[in-house]
Amino acid sequence: MEKKVKIYSTPTCFYCQTTKEFFAKNGIKYEEANVSSDLKAREEMVRKSNQLGVPVIEIGHEIIVGFDRVALEAALGLKK
């Protein structure tokens, strides 16, 4: 079963772009929430992560803050 993936991001965030490129390269489908324009998504992100910085990535019930390739691969089961 595929885990639901959601990224809380902003349009100008370099690490958000890097994370989305990582998802694309690995064929990962994800939902994106732009926290610079969506106040409800921003409040949800802060409630889940206690963070104001982006990206905040939710994979299943796991929260990853920032672009952490090793943590993303582990959470997504991409380890070879």
* 23: in domain: yes
Is residue 29 over pLDDT 80? yes
* pLDDT single digits (tens) 50-60: 999 999 999 99
* 12: in domain: yes
Least confident of 12-21, 26-35, 71-80: 71-80
Global pTM exceeds 0.75: yes
Its domain, for residue 31, covers: 5-66
Do residues 56 and 67 make contact, with C-beta atoms less than 8 angstroms apart? no
Mean pLDDT of 5-27: 97
* pLDDT single digits (tens) 42-78: 999 999 999 999 999 999 999 999 999 999 999 999 9
60 Ramachandran zone, left/alpha/beta (phi>0; psi -120 to 50): left
- In angstroms, how far is CA 45 from the centroid of its own chain? 10
* 32: in domain: yes
CATH number at residue 54: 3.40.30.10
* 22: in domain: yes
